[in-house]
Each structure stands twice: as structure tokens, then as C-alpha cells.
Amino acid sequence: MIENKDITVIVHGPVQNYQDRTHHEEGITQRCLQSIRQHLPGCTIILSTWKNQNLTNLDYDLLIEEQDIGPNKDRIAPKNYN
């Protein structure tokens, strides 16, 4: 049996809504992290997001911050999935 302490969960993406990305529910990242803590207590949570995001009240163990490389140019998915 795998123990929760042996599990790592990565949450990737913006942590808040902004003018061009309003389709996310307000507080969705905070609720996501809280759900992981509730259902997998003792696991490691890595939050991977872009620099200058508001990280207030977010419960994670490790943080990865990268520059936002901007939207895709493929016309299939106009938002950033890189």
C-alpha cells in the first residue's frame, strides 16, 4: 500500500483570475490545495506557477515560479498551456 507521505501532487497554473482569464472560479487554487490536504494528508504539494502571482493563504510545500511565456500561437488553444 502506498502511504500519503510517498505521494507528491503538482498543481500548475495561475493562482488567481485576471482580466483575460476570468473563466476560473474565484479562490479555485486555494480550494484545490485545501482538498489535497484533506484527502491526502501528509503528501507533498508542489505549486508551479508564474512569477508575481498572489500566493497569500496558499498551503503548499514547494514553490516553482517561472516567467509566463505568454499565449500559444497555434490557434487551437489561445490561452497558455505551455
In this prediction, the residues of the chain whose per-residue pLDDT falls under 50 are: none
Give the three cell numbers for residue 59. 498551503
pLDDT value for 7 = 98
- C-alpha distances in Å from residue 8, one per residue of 15, 37, 78: 19, 11, 30
**Percent residues over pLDDT 70 in the chain:** 74
Q: Are 9 and 45 in contact (CB under 8 A)?
A: yes
Instruction: Spell out the residues 6+ positions from residue 8 whose beta carbon is closer than 8 angstroms to its own.
Output: 43, 44, 45, 46
Given this model, what pLDDT does residue 34 score?
Answer: 96
